[in-house]
Structure 1
Amino acid sequence: MGGGALLVAGTTSDAGKSLVTMGLCRWLARRGVKVAPFKAQNMSLNSMVTADGAEIGRAQYAQAQAAGVEPRAVMNPVLLKPGSDRRSQVVVLGRPVAEVDAVEYRAHRGRLREVVLDSLAELRAAHDVVICEGAGSPAEINLRAGDIVNMGLARAADIPVVVVGDIDRGGVFASLYGTVALLEPADQALVAAFVINKFRGAVELLEPGLARLAELTGRPTLGVLPWRPGLHIDPEDGLALDAPRPGARAPYGRQTLRVAVARYPRISNFTDLDALTCEPGVVVRYATDPGDLADADLVVLPGSRATVSDLAWLRERGMADAIVRRAREGRPVLGICGGHQMLAREILDEVESGAGRVEGLGLLPTRVVFAREKTLARPTGVAYGQPVRAYEIHHGVVEVLGGDPFLDGCRVGAVWGTTWHGALENDGFRRAFLADVARCAGRDFTPAPDVSFAAQRAAMFDTVGDLVEEHLDTDAVWRLIEQGAPPGLPTLLSGF
């Protein structure tokens, strides 16, 4: 079977599964353990391209970095990318294979189960430990029959499970108890312990509840992780945008650079903007209304999984007119990937939306044609005299018909467009770009000369590893990894 394993499940989406998985990976790696992350099936619009050109969830990419191993497609063998409320693109081992709705997806489950189990076996054979992350909640009993990411995976591979509950939402004890109680007995037998996340206050106040939870379930709580502001490391979905972002409430001043990011329904790879939040004096806020753009020095149109649909959303809300107006006034606008496509004169899409010809915002001399083949690449280039390393994930191909060169796209006045994700993570380029934006906006802002996005990212990995090491019973965690779920765990009344 190979190395040991542990599955980190959660009572809800955004309970902290990704963070706990990352922290466990970092803690183990610092102990000299060869560890890898694994998420069998991920639904996310934040993705990344591996060195060999495969697309995986951005969270799994970050977890691999925290573990000190090269990110690989087998760490996230199935990635679902929603393009609407009903349909998703299915990416298998890094390559898109189908566009399906929930009913059509069932036809793929048998094959995907084999891919998932083979990928996990490959990772376990090559590593001492694999830390698996669940999805949503294991108590989504309507989905249990076809589950390959929560208890279905745990049962198939005989992996012990730890359930994470988010106390900041309230009702954490009921959520933890109810999660176990809703499972069938064979699933309950693998749920070995709990972790409480995002606690603000004195842990002593929780102790009576923790003791009672252990009495009722026969399962211990391995620790209580305290709330840490600013830990937004490559979240999987837009729920993370509802939480306070670093610098989002900083006071304005003449030396503050104000960035407004369009938060359309299918926003993707909004992690591109994380590099801006690490800059002192830069305030990043997400916009859903024209008024949110009024005092911005820079408006960013980020990536989108549904370019034509999200462009229509901008028009319906009056934001498109506001963006065009500010661009014609010489006020800065940046489009990235899907946002770059929106800036074009025209979009021809028979692939993603099937809408055919759609008029773009007309702010750049470009034309977009959607191709059936997805581009997945790790390009390099130079802008403002600075080296840039980036990544590409898109079906829309942008033809540049004029303007000044800007990475793979172009610039006209104070409007920039590029298909490259991750460009702002390059420190020299980011500083030069922000200085140019400040000049165009008439803002007295000078980027800090010594900010390193990579160093701040590594420090956050260590912070998450410290949380695990300092606040969890790591000896108990290690016993679960080595020995599995203890025999004889009580079965709660569940109705099964």
Structure 2
Amino acid sequence: MTGRSLLVAGTTSDAGKTVVTTGICRALARRGISVAPFKAQNMSNNSMVVEGGTAGECAEIGRAQWIQAVAAGARPEPAMNPVLLKPGSDRRSHVVVMGEPAGTLEAGEFAGGRRHLARAAFDALDDLRSRYDVVVCEGAGSVAEINLRAHDYVNMGLARRAGMPTIVVGDIDRGGVFAAMAGTLALLSPGDQELVRGFVVNRFRGDVGLLRPGLDELERRTGRPVLGVLPWLRGLWLDSEDSLALGARRSGDEDDGGEADAAGAPTVAVVMLPRISNFTDVDALCLEPGVRVRYVDDPRALAGADVVVLPGTRATIGDLAWLRGRGLDTAIVEHAADGGAVLGICGGFQMLGREIRDPDGVEGSGGVAAPGLGLLDAVTEFGAGKVLRLPEGSALGAAASGYEIHHGRVTVASGAEFLGGARDGLVFGTMWHGALEGDALRSEWLREVARARGKSIATGAVGFAAARAERLDRLADLIDEHMDVDALLAMLDGGPALPTVRLALEQPR
């Protein structure tokens, strides 16, 4: 039996497709439905290691599909994100197919050079549909990117192949949501329009009654229902694929109730690298009461910070040059010299070492070597083979676990071992992403940093896994309360063809 499927598309990037897809997965799972998430192609540097690669090896998928699988109560696997594009520059992406490295893709190849990627995506969807009652598919970008439609396999190309009902999500917080929804539908071909079954308005603030005339007119003009108006919900952020979502992760005076101050708990400054990857590594710190986390791209913003975090990056040497160009390298070294703590994760750890070498051009240009910040006695050399691991161990007397995704091999000459990396005083470097999600390790690390900085912190009040589950349930509650889930389920069973919409200049009645 082939399971049913639904496409959650959007009027724009960051319209809320990921959140709506995640919420639907959770809501359906709570009804006892066997459900799996799917995204044919991600373009993201925020990824996760899962089991299920060839020969029992680990594999890599988009972080968003991983959290959607968690929401659905399904085991995350490569078929849920068969194609992952990891941008290394504005014109070149590293390709991951079914969880494994598969070369690179240049910008000029995006139109016609992806037929093999489409085949992989279609096969993966067919596989999931054979094993689950419902597959909830997330589109990419705007569903009306008509310049890419001829070779599309992520949005309406996917929907047409599978005969998949589609809902379109629009972000009203940006403004212009009615025009975006009607215009999106009008730009689609008649065959694509037939599959669009309704709209969802996302991030609404205010009285829905004031919105009703616009909703009624949208329904009259398009012949499609508005299936839900989802309110803007404070603090509802999830493991995202897109660094556009980083704004929701910022914690500060407006979020911490003033608990974090110069004499209180530590302040953490996360360097916003241009090619930042796996930025979810600091999510657990954002949830700690009293800990202020801010994202920075200017050396002056490091003033007053107790901890500087250098996160992962898909272009270590390039982002290190950017760091130097902005004077952040000097600011970080001076911060460490003044007794401040520094945490480097993966690419950030590599930057803290003595040198980074890329003899084979893994990052884009062969024969490159760059001096690091010299805060740790380590040397990195990039190689073609990618390391994908789910390591476990201990640090600071606490059990620890995480995941590794990297091409660079780090050789540590001296210093204490720390989570597959090294430490020297308050300078920590690790190749393990996600380690701070471990409650015991995070508590010990924060206590050590706070003590060294003369700060105080109460740890142990936040259980990260429980907080994530609570956010997922809040999201499912939002879907159940403000979206017509019964209509959504009926939609999965088909229905009559809907009318083709043409641009109309008539005045509203």
- TM-score bracket relative to the smaller structure: over 0.9
Counterpart code for 1:34 = S
Please give the secondary structure, in 2, of the residue aligned with 1:54.
Answer: strand
Aligned to 1:489: 499
Deviations 1:433-464 (A, max 9, x none): 011111222212232x2310000000011011
Compute the RMSD of aligned alpha carbons: 1.3
- Residue 312 of structure 1 pairs with residue 308 of structure 2: no
Which whole-Å CA distance do the structure 1 matches of 2:437 and 2:381 have between them?
A: 28
Please give the secondary structure, in 1, of the residue aligned with 2:76.
Answer: coil
Which whole-Å CA distance do the structure 1 matches of 2:291 and 2:305 have between them?
A: 11
Counterpart code for 1:60 = Q
TM-score computed with the length of structure 2 as normaliser: 0.95
Deviations 1:254-305 (A, max 9, x none): 2232000000100000000101111111111000100111110100000000
Counterpart code for 1:233 = L
Aligned to 2:485: 474
Contact 1:257 1:438 in 2 (8 A): yes
Q: Percent sequence identity over matched residues? A: 57
- Residue 405 of structure 1 pairs with residue 387 of structure 2: no
Measured after TM superposition, the shift of residue 227 of structure 1 is 0.4
Aligned to 1:380: 392
TM-score computed with the length of structure 1 as normaliser: 0.97
- Residue 198 of structure 1 pairs with residue 203 of structure 2: yes
Aligned to 1:453: 464
User: Which of residues 79, 88, 93 in structure 1 aligns to 2:93?
Assistant: 88
* Structure 2: tracts of 5 or more residues without a match: 53-57, 505-509
Contact 1:189 1:491 in 2 (8 A): no
Measured after TM superposition, the shift of residue 492 of structure 1 is 2.4
Counterpart code for 1:321 = T
1:30-429 maps to which residues of 2 (within 5 A)? Answer: 30-52=30-52, 53-106=58-111, 108-243=113-248, 245-247=250-252, 249=254, 250=256, 251=258, 252-253=260-261, 254-350=263-359, 351-354=362-365, 356-429=368-441
Measured after TM superposition, the shift of residue 491 of structure 1 is 2.9
- 1:248 and 1:314, CA in 2 relative to 1: closer, same or farther beyond 3 A? farther
Measured after TM superposition, the shift of residue 135 of structure 1 is 0.3
Measured after TM superposition, the shift of residue 248 of structure 1 is 6.3
Counterpart code for 1:257 = P
Which whole-Å CA distance do the structure 1 matches of 2:317 and 2:24 have between them?
A: 40
Measured after TM superposition, the shift of residue 107 of structure 1 is 5.3
Counterpart code for 1:477 = L
Counterpart code for 1:43 = M
Which whole-Å CA distance do the structure 2 matches of 1:343 and 1:177 have between them?
A: 50
Deviations 1:55-86 (A, max 9, x none): 00000000000000100000000001101111
Counterpart code for 2:446 = L
Q: Mean alpha-carbon deviation: is it higher for 92-101 or for 122-131?
A: 92-101
User: Which of residues 464, 470, 476 in structure 2 aligns to 1:465?
Assistant: 476
Which whole-Å CA distance do the structure 2 matches of 1:63 and 1:482 have between them?
A: 23
Measured after TM superposition, the shift of residue 51 of structure 1 is 2.3
Counterpart code for 1:59 = A
| Moved beyond 6 Å, runs of 4+ | none
Which whole-Å CA distance do the structure 2 matches of 1:392 and 1:248 have between them?
A: 33
Aligned to 1:432: 444
Contact 2:313 2:348 in 1 (8 A): yes
Please give the secondary structure, in 1, of the residue aligned with 2:93.
Answer: strand
Which whole-Å CA distance do the structure 1 matches of 2:112 and 2:399 have between them?
A: 45
Which whole-Å CA distance do the structure 2 matches of 1:348 and 1:7 have between them?
A: 43
Please give the secondary structure, in 1, of the residue aligned with 2:493.
Answer: helix
Deviations 1:196-241 (A, max 9, x none): 0000111111100000000100000001000011111011111112
Contact 2:270 2:308 in 1 (8 A): yes
Contact 2:112 2:151 in 1 (8 A): no
Which whole-Å CA distance do the structure 2 matches of 1:446 and 1:479 have between them?
A: 49
Counterpart code for 1:35 = V
Measured after TM superposition, the shift of residue 93 of structure 1 is 0.3
Counterpart code for 1:22 = T
Measured after TM superposition, the shift of residue 488 of structure 1 is 3.4
Which whole-Å CA distance do the structure 2 matches of 1:14 and 1:128 have between them?
A: 28
Counterpart code for 1:199 = F
Contact 1:248 1:284 in 2 (8 A): no
- 1:244 and 1:375, CA in 2 relative to 1: closer, same or farther beyond 3 A? closer
Counterpart code for 2:21 = T
Deviations 1:328-380 (A, max 9, x none): 22210000000000001011113214252110000000000001001111000
Which whole-Å CA distance do the structure 1 matches of 2:106 and 2:243 have between them?
A: 20
Measured after TM superposition, the shift of residue 96 of structure 1 is 1.2
Contact 2:265 2:450 in 1 (8 A): no
Which whole-Å CA distance do the structure 2 matches of 1:243 and 1:431 have between them?
A: 23
Measured after TM superposition, the shift of residue 244 of structure 1 is 5.9
Aligned to 2:507: none
Which whole-Å CA distance do the structure 2 matches of 1:345 and 1:258 have between them?
A: 27
Which whole-Å CA distance do the structure 2 matches of 1:392 and 1:199 have between them?
A: 38
Which whole-Å CA distance do the structure 2 matches of 1:79 and 1:190 have between them?
A: 26
Measured after TM superposition, the shift of residue 490 of structure 1 is 3.3
Contact 1:230 1:246 in 2 (8 A): no
